[in-house]
Amino acid sequence: MNVDINTEIAKRFGINAAIVMTYLWNEHNELLGDEKNKIHSKVWVRCSHKKLSVIFPFITLNVARRAIERLLSGGILIIGEFNPSRFDRTAWYAFTEHGYDLMEVNYGRK
């Protein structure tokens, strides 16, 4: 998979966080028309650390976790849990207003 990352975002958050952020932004744009992923007026992307390590084999589970933590603490993403089963703990991510603005400036909306 080819990932087009913005160098300014990579400088600010690190290369792995920039890769994860770009992936989540692309998924977000694909889900814009899907009403089941719109919760509380935000588009949420369901994604696990394991999924990220499978999509990007050069990203380990720990690297994926740290990248997500960096984006959460940086105010780019928020986390939720909207799984139908209470036993399914897979996280859902949505962009904050700041994160949304940052991504629109650097990547635009599809």
pLDDT tens digits for range 62-77: 999 999 999 999 999 9
pTM of the model: 0.90
Q: Cα 83 to chain center, whole Å?
A: 17
Domains and CATH numbers, the chain: 7-107 (1.10.10)
Low-confidence ranges of the chain (pLDDT < 70): 1, 108-110
Indicate the SS3 state at residue 80. Answer: strand
Distance (Å, whole) CA 80 – CA 8: 27
Instruction: With beta carbons less than 8 A apart as the criterion, state whether 13 and 71 touch.
Output: yes
pLDDT of residue 16: 96
